[in-house]
Structure 1
């Protein structure tokens, strides 16, 4: 299996892999540059998703050209990652928000959804205006 692949396949595969590296590098820069946990969790999640898609497309191109048939086994990996990365990000955010609310760190955190309407005087005055 020492066949050389066409340059028309090698160039897009190489560009997709370089693009994946750029996304990963920008994720690392965002992780170092931002200060709070909530700001730091976005660059890795977004860049990881984009980088994974680039590697998946490069893999599909490469193995399809190598085997001379459509190779879609890499789709299983990207489908799994596309489902788990956002869910993991949401769970991490909710965990940190819970820790900040119960730990009393003194940081400003948003109120729980049920308490937002009760704490806002504009909401109660507009509600009483609608009833009258």
Structure 2
């Protein structure tokens, strides 16, 4: 039973490390701010959650477990909010997009959503 528990905890740590690595790789490899922000926020939330959950399973003290649960809750609640805020600010600043990206403009005054695709050579292309 102890061996299965250790294997499960190590799988959680390796899975968390994998997601953190993929998020870092996405930050380096993806073309514009929106895709980079998406990759890092999603992978960071999942990866750190898995690693902290593995730590919770290995610690036997209630006070430390409570603190780690609060940290996980804080990460899971704040990362998506901050990612959305960054995306909205960059959208309002007309940050250049890569060709083939699409824009869903739902911030217009009449509240209608308009979908438009970024074309090659347009003003809104990342140089």
Same fold by TM-score greater than 0.5: yes
The reply on whether 1:36 has 2:51 as its aligned counterpart is no
Q: CA deviation at 1:44?
A: 0.6
Q: Rate the CA distance shift 1:61–1:82 in 2: closer, same or farther, 3 A.
A: same
Secondary structure, aligned partner of 1:35: coil
Contact 1:19 1:54 in 2 (8 A): yes
Q: Which has the higher strand share?
A: 2
Where does the alignment leave 5 or more consecutive residues of structure 1 unmatched? 1-5, 121-132
Contact 2:17 2:51 in 1 (8 A): no
CA distance in 2, matches of 1:78, 1:39: 24
Count of residues paired in the alignment:
109
Contact 1:97 1:109 in 2 (8 A): no
CA distance in 2, matches of 1:63, 1:116: 50
* Structure (1 or 2) with the larger CA radius of gyration: 1
Residue 24 of structure 1: aligned partner: 20
Where does the alignment leave 5 or more consecutive residues of structure 2 unmatched? 116-127
* RMSD across aligned positions (CA): 3.1
Task: Calculate the TM-score normalised by the size of structure 1.
Answer: 0.67
Q: Rate the CA distance shift 1:80–1:116 in 2: closer, same or farther, 3 A.
A: closer
CA distance in 1, matches of 2:86, 2:36: 11
